[in-house]
Structure 1
Amino acid sequence: MDRIMKERTDVDYAREIFLEAIEPLKRTERSGIVKCVGRVLSTSILAPRNVPHYRRSAMDGFAVRSVDIMGASSTNPVMLQVSKEIEEGTCVPVSTGSYVPDEADAVLMLEDTIAIGDMIEVRVQVHPGKNVGDIGEDVRKNEIIFNKGHLSRPCDIAVLASLGIAEVTVYSRPVVAIIPTGNDLIPLQDHEVPPPGKTLNINSLMIGLYVKKWGAEPRYCGIVPEHREHIREALIRNLDADLIVISGGTSVGEQDYVPDVVASLGKKLVHGVGLSPGKPTALGTINDVPVLCMPGYPAAGLVALFAFGKTAIRKTGNIPDTPEVSVKARLAGKINSREGYVSYARVILEGNTARPLMTAGAGILSSIAKSGGFVIIPPNVEGYEEGDEVDVVLIE
């Protein structure tokens, strides 16, 4: 049988049809606000009260009746009695954020006064409302604070706390089953040097850490031998997950069964993409569960995970899409690329300079760890020359 991989689906098109096959989760749960940083709100939140719920001072100084110091100037100073209550001719000391008595309509800044015993000399006038924060100035009761689908940040939690909200309803985190395949793999717990021909299962750890970083919950599965029935059983056992990532067995070798097994259980959407490294990537679904089949070579697998896994997790978990973090840099050397492929070229950032590290080498994971990011080269561009300004997508 001719097993040469002739298909090469465009990366953007492959991602599009993969995402079209994914339904966002509807499961929700209650979460204490302290634990919901990075969680996505499943309902809009209305303010249950005003913030502030009292008139507050915006400055350190004195609460006054503006009418009492009307016309005050350096040539026509006004004296006020420092008191505990506001009445004609008196003022009350206040600090930033403190309560402004109802009878006062303005706050005079401390630096605009001169203390003389138990009185102050005022040489400026203030208008009503000056330096006074009104009730609800920050948040109005029944105002929509955050809309459904909002990704909670630490500053958002502070707002919720100021409103007395202790819990919110969020979307459940997607469960991502991670299935490693390969007769050469041995568990990572075996810390001894692997015998020749054997490899530590580092892919599961790498995938799981990124899955968690991107907002999902990893489910680590045991190593599956390169055997059709074993792969089939592993996939069936994990169809209760929200997304399956299977590592290895995607190329065109005699024992690379994964894409065919996915097709036999469900639907193979893509096998072979214009991605370098990462061409053997396959995408599919089984019983509406999306399946990402990534190459077993670590660097190629990681590129496939970045290209397809991250966006799949975001859609599954209702996580808002955010642009990749990138910086501008000048190339310190030429970068070659494969025509018709989206190439992820690894570079080392040195200030405003990007030094090419490696554009090939699907199994060299250390080249990614040593790099600061990727220069992603479009399929219609034949690389970049030394001195070209490029965008470097940072490895988080």
Structure 2
Amino acid sequence: MDKDQLAQRAAQEVDADEVVRLTQALVRIESYYPGPGEQPVVDFLEPYLRERGFKTTVQEVAPGRPNLIADLGEGPGGLILEGHTDVVTHGNLERWTVPPYEARIVEGRLYGRGACDMKGGLAAAICAAVAVQKVLGTPPKTLRLCIPCDEEGLMMGIKAFIQAGYAEGFAGALICEPEENQVCLWQKGAMRVWVRFRGRMSHGAMPYAGANPIPSASRFVVELGKLQAVLQAESQHPYLGLPWLTPTVFQAGAGEGQFNVMPDQVRLGLDIRTNPGQDHRALEARLQQALEGSLEAGISATLEVFEDRPATETSPDTALVQAVEQGLRLLQMPLQYGGVPGATDGTFLWAWAGLPIVTIGPGGRTIPHQADEYIEIAELVAAARLYAAVSVQMLLG
């Protein structure tokens, strides 16, 4: 058989029922943080993969928060399939019409927290790797399942994976996030920023005796809106849309928040999303300029970028992109391009490890983090078959 025929055979070898069973099993394991954490998922998956012939490694990232690495083959130049184990909290249970950890199937949809983001994509990757093993046995290049913790936080799982050298020697990575099985070659950058304003407390009846930081903080929020309009006029991406400067935290008050006490500090949190080509250092300088212009007499402020994730862009000429496109053609799946509106673990595989990445996976991109999260089973199985076909293309390329 030639490479294309073997890729098609691997896709056919994917056990559709097992993809669904494995997704259900993973959804039933609560792995949000703070809370149970990711350890129970690794405790389940590590023997599951070892029993199927994979070489497994558990990397302790933080107490109760491990990465799982599972390999098929040992040769260089292979492929990473990446999917994280953590999920966001279920939130208010009263908003769920289906229990979040039951993994109930209703009319072709599998419901539950993490079904879409991204235990479905993770299960698809695992079942794809099992199918590849059935067809290729021990492949000439390594197929590595990267299963990290903490994607929903500061991504310390993928950072530890890269820092330990586990991303070295690979030709690329598929990021199995829910993107409606679109070929996403671009993803937004992100900056997480704290801005702290400091003034002087006083009695609310005598504000002239102190310095109130709230008006300065409010003025800065207004300036953010003006700066956002300028940035959006400068950058609009065909697949990523507009950049955004979004205030998400505004905390002020003395103690528990007393009406007759003017506070001495305000904390403002910003979630900033950027497009390829936007320089984060230059943007930070513009933020600092807007901040300095917002301060009233007696008020000081500091701006701290505590997390910086660059926007990513993968060339369509890379072997990975060509393998994905060929896999879609072989399986007669639609070839649609898209962009990732948020950052993913792929951000650091691209920026720190220098790997070409393609983000492609089952599930609607607006479904994650909502009550009654779900994934379409047909889309889930199609993704698993695609991952198997692409893996064969890369391992034999």
Which structure dedicates a bigger proportion of its chain to strand? 1
Do both share a fold (TM > 0.5)? no
Q: Give the TM-score normalised by structure 1.
A: 0.20
Q: Give the TM-score normalised by structure 2.
A: 0.20
Which structure has more relative contact order (CA 8 Å, sep 6+)? It is 2
